[in-house]
Amino acid sequence: MTEHCQQTTHYPSLVGKRVFITGGGTGIGAEMVRRFALQGALVTFVDMAETPSVELARELSQYNVRFEQCDLRDIAHLQSIIQQTGREQGPIGVLINNAADDTRHNIDEVTVEYWDDRLAVNLRPSFFAAQAVSEQMKQINGGSIINMGSASWRIKQSCMPAYTSAKAAIEGMSRSLASAYGQHNIRVNTLVPGWVMTKRQMSHWLDPEVVETVKQQQCIHQTLKPAHIVNAALFLAADDSSMMTAQTLTIDAGWT
């Protein structure tokens, strides 16, 4: 395991909890899988990337972690995995809608098909996963749904408008679902990362100069790591945040 996944706080309410994480194969999602496993949760994660996901499941074989391959654009498949997980492990109590694809795209080149595809990755699965797990959460009279937002639209990034539109919509969707599900003690919050230096970010979009610029734009001039985001996800999932819903929690070192 990496140095970042040392357990800091222990949350008794997460022990034995069924946790479902999308996009758990790499990046922040992989760190979530590790850290929820360390808490004693039963973790199921889905991802379209088979190789890193299988490796992660193998790394965590001593814990209760399962991987199911799924392209989240296939909603029927996602729904069937959620139902199967509930049948085999018991009702899901925590859902983290983490998967996303921040591939850059030029405004002038976006077609209707490309727009629909970006929303089919970055917005649509979060709604249908929430809809599917809510049935199981009602059975156990509660749950926590965490939708991953993004600071990108707040800083007016122009290089991926379909992605930023989806991420802005996530916050509105979270508040509507929080209102609808509150009567069942199901909480829905948005977790907004700043610019987190994952391997993908470093290899695709960042060079040392940009990393330094972002650091200087933040109030705290240090690099954000996946662990900083996961610490907040653990809190939002645990009963320690039991009266927190319809909120946006931003972890960006004061960037936005």
Ligand X SMILES: NC(=O)c1ccc[n+]([C@@H]2O[C@H](COP(=O)([O-])OP(=O)(O)OC[C@H]3O[C@@H](n4cnc5c(N)ncnc54)[C@H](O)[C@@H]3O)[C@@H](O)[C@H]2O)c1
Q: Which residues bind ligand X (CB under 6 A)?
A: 23, 25-29, 47-49, 70-73, 98-102, 121, 148, 150-151, 193, 195-196, 198, 200-201
From the number of C-beta atoms within 10 Å of its C-beta (0-12, 13-18, 19+), residue 209 rates as exposed
The radius of gyration computed from the CA coordinates of the chain, to the nearest angstrom, equals: 17
Q: What is the strand order of the sheet 248-251 is part of?
A: 65-69, 42-47, 18-22, 94-97, 143-148, 186-193, 248-251
Among residues 63, 114, 163, 181, the one annotated as catalytic is 163
CB of 42 or CB of 81, closer to ligand X: 81
CB of 60 to ligand X, least distance (A): 15
Residue nearest to ligand X (CB): 27
CB of 1 or CB of 15, closer to ligand X: 1
CB of 213 to ligand X, least distance (A): 14
Place of tokens 């997460």: 14
CB of 14 to ligand X, least distance (A): 20
Q: Are 91 and 136 in contact (CB under 8 A)?
A: yes
Q: Please confirm, yes or no, whether 163 is among the known catalytic residues.
A: yes
CB of 66 or CB of 184, closer to ligand X: 66
CB of 72 to ligand X, least distance (A): 4
CB of 139 or CB of 250, closer to ligand X: 250
CA 128 to chain centroid: 14
E strand segments, the chain: 18-22, 42-47, 65-69, 94-97, 143-148, 186-193, 248-251
Q: Is 224 helix (H, G, I), strand (E, B) or coil?
A: strand
Catalytic residues: 163
